[in-house]
Amino acid sequence: MYGSNVSADGLQHVSTLNFGDPFRKHEMHCRFKQKPPWPWLAITTSIGILVIAYLVGYIFHATVNRIAKVEDDYNKMMELKKKAEAADVAKSQFLATVSHEIRTPMNGVLGMLHMLMDTDLDVTQQDYVRTAQGSGKALVSLINEVLDQAKIESGRLELDAVQFDLRAILDDVLSLFSGKSQEKGVELAVYISDRVPEMLIGDPGRFRQIITNLMGNSMKFTEKGHIFVTVHLVEEVIGSTEVETSSENTLSGFPVTDRCSSWKGFKAFSQEGSTFPLSPPSDSINLIVSVEDTGVGIPPEAQSRVFTPFMQVGPSISRIHGGTGIGLSISKCLVGLMNGEIGFVSIPKTGSTFTFTAVFTNGCSNPNEYKSHKINNQSNSASTEFQGMTALVVDPRPVRAKVSRYHIQRLGISVEVVSDLNQGWSNISSGNGAIDIVLVEQEVWDRDSHLSSLFINNFKKIDRRTPPKLFILANFISTSRTSATTSGDNTPSIIMKPLRSSMLAASLQRAMGVGSKGNARNRELPALRNLLLGRKILIIDDNNVNLKVAAGALKKYGAEVECADSGKKAVSLLKPPHCFDACFMDIQMPEMDGFEATKLIREMEKHGETSVEAYDNVSNWHVPILAMTADVIQATHEECLKCGMDGYVSKPFEAEQLYREVSRFFQSVPNGNL
Amino acid sequence: MEVGQMQRRLIEYTKSLFMEGILDDQFLQLQQLQDESNPDFVVEVVSLFFQDAERLLNDITSALDQQSVDFPKVDAHVHQLKGSSASVGAQRVKNGCIAFRNFCEEQNVDGSLRCLQQIKQEYYHVKNKLEALFRLEQQIVAAGGSVPMMELSF
Interface of A with B (CB under 8 A): 120, 122-123, 179, 483, 486-489, 491, 510, 513, 516-518, 521, 541-546, 548-550, 552-553, 555-556, 588, 590, 630, 651-653
Interchain contact, B98 vs A651, CB within 8 Å: no
Q: Between helices B3-19 and B109-142, what is the axis angle to 10°?
A: 160
Task: Summarize pLDDT for A497-532 with one digit per residue, the tens.
Answer: 777 777 777 777 776 665 444 343 434 456 667 777
Q: What string of DSSP letters covers A587-614?
A: S--SSS-HHHHHHHHHHHHHHHGGGS--
Strands A536-540 and A560-564: parallel
Report the residue count for chain B: 154
Say whether B1 sits in a helix, a strand or coil.
coil
Tell me the C-alpha distance between B5 and A486, whole Å. Answer: 10
Q: Yes or no: say if B75 and B103 are a contact pair by the CB < 8 Å rule.
A: no
Say whether B64 sits in a helix, a strand or coil.
helix
Q: By percentage, how much of chain B surpasses pLDDT 90?
A: 1
Tell me the C-alpha distance between A43 and A361, whole Å. Answer: 85
Say whether A57 sits in a helix, a strand or coil.
helix
Q: Yes or no: say if A416 and A431 are a contact pair by the CB < 8 Å rule.
A: no
Neighbours of A35 (CB within 10 A): 10
Neighbours of A68 (CB within 10 A): 10
Is there a cis peptide before residue A468, judged by omega within 30 degrees of 0?
A: no
In this prediction, residue A487 carries a pLDDT of 42
Q: Yes or no: say if A625 and A649 are a contact pair by the CB < 8 Å rule.
A: no
Q: What's phi and psi for A289, nearest 5 deg?
A: -120, 135
Neighbours of A575 (CB within 10 A): 15
Q: What's phi and psi for A461, nearest 5 deg?
A: -85, 0
Q: Rounded mean pLDDT of chain B? A: 84
Interchain contact, A517 vs B36, CB within 8 Å: yes
Closest Cβ–Cβ partner in B4, B41, B80 for A486: B4
Looking at chain B, which residue has its C-alpha nearest residue A521?
A: B32
Angle at A173 between CA A172 and CA A175, to 5 degrees: 65
Q: Yes or no: say if B22 and B125 are a contact pair by the CB < 8 Å rule.
A: yes
In this prediction, residue A291 carries a pLDDT of 92
Beta partners for residue A190, in sequence order: A229
The 8-class DSSP code of residue B82 comes to: H
Give 10-residue mean pLDDT values along chain A (674 residues).
Answer: 66 82 81 80 94 96 96 95 87 74 81 83 83 84 77 75 86 82 84 87 88 89 88 79 56 75 70 45 83 88 81 62 72 88 88 90 58 36 65 83 85 82 74 72 74 70 64 63 43 74 75 49 55 83 83 82 87 83 84 86 75 51 82 65 82 73 66 39
Task: Summarize pLDDT for B33-50 with one digit per residue, the tens.
Answer: 877 777 788 888 889 899
In this prediction, residue A619 carries a pLDDT of 55
Neighbours of A377 (CB within 10 A): 14
Report the gap between the CA of B109 and the closest CA in chain A (Å): 23
Taking only Cα atoms into account, the Rg of chain A, rounded to an integer number of angstroms, comes to: 43
Looking at chain A, which residue has its C-alpha nearest residue B40?
A: A552
In this prediction, residue B86 carries a pLDDT of 87
Interchain contact, B148 vs A488, CB within 8 Å: no
User: CB-based contact (8 Å) between B3 and chain A?
Assistant: yes
Tell me the C-alpha distance between A382 and A147, whole Å. Answer: 39
Q: Yes or no: say if B136 and B16 are a contact pair by the CB < 8 Å rule.
A: no
Write down the pTM of the prediction: 0.51
User: CB-based contact (8 Å) between B87 and chain A?
Assistant: yes
User: With contacts defined as CB-CB under 8 Å, which chain A residues touch B11?
Assistant: none
Q: Yes or no: say if A392 and A435 are a contact pair by the CB < 8 Å rule.
A: yes
Closest Cβ–Cβ partner in B38, B84, B98 for A545: B84
Q: What number of CA atoms fall less than 13 Å from residue A267's CA on the CB side?
A: 7
Q: Yes or no: say if A664 and A641 are a contact pair by the CB < 8 Å rule.
A: no
Instruction: Give B79's contacts (C-beta < 8 A, 6+ positions apart).
Output: A588, B97, B101
Q: What number of CA atoms fall less than 13 Å from residue A535's CA on the CB side?
A: 29
Strands A187-192 and A162-165: unpaired
Q: Yes or no: say if B42 and B34 are a contact pair by the CB < 8 Å rule.
A: yes
Q: What is chain B's percent helix, strand, coil content, to nearest 5? A: 75, 5, 20
Interchain contact, B35 vs A542, CB within 8 Å: no
Alpha carbon A382 to chain centroid, angstroms: 25
Q: Yes or no: say if A386 and A514 are a contact pair by the CB < 8 Å rule.
A: yes
Mutate to test the interface with B, among A471, A541, A543, A556 (most CBs of B within 10 A): A543
Angle at B35 between CA B32 and CA B37, to 5 degrees: 140
- Helix (H) / strand (E) containing A109: helix A40-117
Beta partners for residue A354, in sequence order: A291, A344
Alpha carbon B129 to chain centroid, angstroms: 9
Tell me the C-alpha distance between A397 and A418, whole Å. Answer: 10
Interchain contact, A546 vs B87, CB within 8 Å: yes
Task: Summarize pLDDT for B50-66 with one digit per residue, the tens.
Answer: 998 999 999 888 888 88
Report the gap between the CA of B113 and the closest CA in chain A (Å): 23
Mutate to test the interface with A, among B23, B27, B33, B100 (most CBs of A within 10 A): B33
* Reduced 3-state DSSP string for A251-288: CCCCCCCCHHHHCCCCHHHCCCCCCCCCCCCCCEEEEE
Strands A342-347 and A284-293: unpaired
In this prediction, residue A43 carries a pLDDT of 92
Q: Yes or no: say if A34 and A7 are a contact pair by the CB < 8 Å rule.
A: yes
The 8-class DSSP code of residue A247 comes to: G
